[in-house]
Structure 1
């Protein structure tokens, strides 16, 4: 009975593929107990559009329409498939500038989602996960220094968390994505960087956010899922809580690389994960203990 709280589809995300209902059907087929539908919230300025959105002639207004359509479809699917799976309707937030705190509040009033995935995709207004080219642009803006880029990432992440207070922390250390693999890991231990991510872990734990183990990092060729195993060790020391996420971008991504999770969790010393469910119209956190000794993973044998 796996779980995931981070997903996308090509129907509502330009870098995804396939229909949202097909994502849900695949989650049902694979035996997911809870699956979160969390399309990206819209961005609000022309300069914040991704290259793929510009090519598709999107505008900030059309992105808002797309999100409204997603919300309506996700609620329909939530009800339609309720006998087979618990679907949660959420959104993966954007936090490009400090104004996004107000945008997120307005979005939640118009579309009262069940939960928020708190992610950071930009540093200094430049996307860091879209392409190597844009990552290099962000790096250049920080004097070509990975230390400076990482520090800026975690400082902006702190501002996001203080404003938004998300239920789930999305890909905590996404800034590793296009860095040189050896350097990406070593920079996490630079004293200035380490102080920042430790500070952020402490702050997320204090506000009750859950850290996703995001398996999509393996699709990107990283050795560790998000977050890095050294960050996981600190989270465990501080009694932080973990959820699982596949960060699906289409039907074939549902449960992607979940076969690697048992070994990764064991290596990291994680024996308990947590999961969100909706009870009496409220989101609550439940515990799944002894996950490595459980029949939890048996459903994957039929995938």
Structure 2
């Protein structure tokens, strides 16, 4: 989300959503989470966190603002955009991002993991969300990353950096609802993460 609302998703625009409205929704989420944590504190320890949206380098300031405004227990860093274009909303936007990268899925994958690396370096999120989301709208979502030398090198670079500061990967099953046979991240990525001693965190 940017200060002028240029990064609203098409569905948010259609719903006449505004940046101010999203900020209020975020604040309401915090207030309700705190209320529930207090109400059920004798029964369960509720951790309060949020997923940050990294779109460009200025996203860092927005995340820092959120962290300064409320006392969160953790946050999850994720990438849904490349070249500031959504890559998981529909094929048309994915193709737009791919064209900017040079026209191939492989080139877009490289750019995705480079932007992810920028996010990791800037924020060092405890949890890294849907690590390989970029494959969702690609021509072959089942394709092995190991077949793409430069892409695979960047994946390993990112995993090594996550391990270096103690981060973990979210294991997300939403890919199954979208027709894929493996979760985010793919097994081949999980195996590298496990080898580094940083097993993925299981979430649905």
Partner Cα distance (2:146, 2:138) in 1: 12
Structure 1 residues 55 and 186: alpha-carbon distance in aligned structure 2, compared to 1, 3 A threshold:
same
**Aligned residue pairs: how many?**
204
Matched, 1:70 2:29: yes
Asked if residue 233 in structure 1 is aligned to residue 159 in structure 2, the reply is no
For residue 181 of structure 1, report the CA deviation from its aligned partner: 3.1
Alpha-carbon distance in structure 2 between the residues aligned to 1:188 and 1:68:
42
Deviation track 1:190-220 (CA, whole Å, cap 9, x = no partner) reads 1110110000000000011111111111111
Asked if 1:177 corresponds to 2:145, the answer is no
Partner of 1:80: 39
Of 101, 112, 120 in structure 2, the residue corresponding to residue 153 of structure 1 is 112
**1:169 touches 1:211 (CA, 8 Å); kept in 2?**
yes
CA contact (8 A) 1:43 1:94 kept: no
Does residue 114 of the first structure (1) align with residue 73 of the second (2)? Answer: yes
> Does 2:10 correspond to 1:51?
yes
> Take 1:79 and 1:202, find their aligned partners in 2: how far apart are those partners?
38
Aligned partner of 1:201 in structure 2 is 159
Taking CA–CA contacts closer than 8 Å with sequence separation of 6 or more, which of the two structures ends up with the larger relative contact order? 1
> For the Cα contact (< 8 Å) 2:194–2:200, is it kept in 1?
no
The residue aligned with 2:64 is 105
Give the superposition deviation at 1:43: 4.4
- Tell me how far apart the structure 2 counterparts of residues 194 and 58 of structure 1 sit (CA, whole Å): 38
Q: Which runs of 5+ in 2 are unaligned?
A: none
Asked if residue 192 in structure 1 is aligned to residue 192 in structure 2, the reply is no
**CA offsets 1:150-199 (integer angstroms, 9 cap, x no match):** 000000000001111111110010101111336x5234531110110000
The separation in 2 between residues aligned to 1:222 and 1:82, in whole angstroms, is 39
Could you give the per-residue CA deviations for residues 245-275 of structure 1, whole angstroms, max 9, x where no partner exists? 11xxxxxxxxxxxxxxxxxxxxxxxxxxxxx
* Contact 1:94 1:121 (C-alpha < 8 Å) held by counterparts: yes
Q: Structure 1: any 5+ residue segments left out of the alignment?
A: 1-41, 247-303
Q: Which contiguous aligned blocks of 4+ residues in structure 1 show a shift greater than 6 angstroms?
A: none
